Amino acid sequence: MKTKNLFLFLCADALMMTGCNSGSLNTTTPVLKTASDTASYYLGYLQGSGVSQFKMKDFNMQSFVAGMNTGIEKKEIKASNMEMQMFLNNYFQSLQMKLAEDNKKESEEYLAKKAKESGVDTLGNGILYKVEKEGNGPKPTATDMVKVHYKGTLPDGTVFDSSLERKEPAEFALNHVIPGWSKALQNMPVGSKWIIYLPADEAYGSRGNRGIGPNQALTFEVELLDIVTPEVPEGTPNQNKK
């Protein structure tokens, strides 16, 4: 999430519509009896999720509530809206930079450790892989569409995406995915199951993605089920027919 977007989450006018009981700051069990209750809970959840992306470990809930109540009561404070926005932008930019530095160090250490494990080989560009099962089918090309089962995890073991949990294989074209996926799957025969270890440059880079921080290495358990031939809609002329 961009810093400006996070600021808008924290300071949106909708926030002024919510009340807060300072005697129950630590609760995560809402009482949702009315539509207003639900709206308040969702606003709080979205703002909390935004803050958590920046790993703000010293987040002060009491200060947050005090600021919210000050806004609700329309009391003046020393800082102008512009000053508050500039402070928050600078603050979250610094957190993002620190997070990127920490993730880069952690990812480099993680990949260096994996590279020493038995059975782990390299494809180049820092991509590591381990063959769990070797298939005997054809290998896809860069423009092929494939059907796979996969599970993606962060270096700490957190699962951020899984077709296995959804109990439904995923289908996508290899030229529409992150570079490391495309490169690795082009080396996998159909029927293979690999564990792929991707450096950030072969994944989501310094920007990250939803649930994935900047400069994070990623691990994928991937089973290549098939190379998919896109269905041609009925009535489409056969371009190869003379």
Which positions are annotated as active-site residues?
A: 150, 160-161, 178, 204, 220
Instruction: Name the nearest CA neighbour of 115 among 128, 124, 106, 125.
Output: 128
145, β-bridge pairs: 173, 228
Which pair of structure tokens corresponds to residue 165?
A: 């949990």
CA count, 13 A, side-chain hemisphere, 180: 26
Asked if residue 81 lies in contact with residue 71, where contact means CB atoms within 8 angstroms, the answer is no
> In angstroms, rounded to a whole number, what is the distance separating the alpha carbons of residues 79 and 145?
54
Closest CA to 132 of 73, 183, 193: 193
Chain-centroid distance, C-alpha 41: 23
Cα separation values, 102 from 10, 87, 108, 213, 216, Å: 25, 23, 10, 10, 9
The Cα–Cα gap between 120 and 132 comes to 10
DSSP string, 16-31: GG----GGGTT-----
Q: Strands 159-162, 170-173: parallel, antiparallel or unpaired by DSSP? A: unpaired
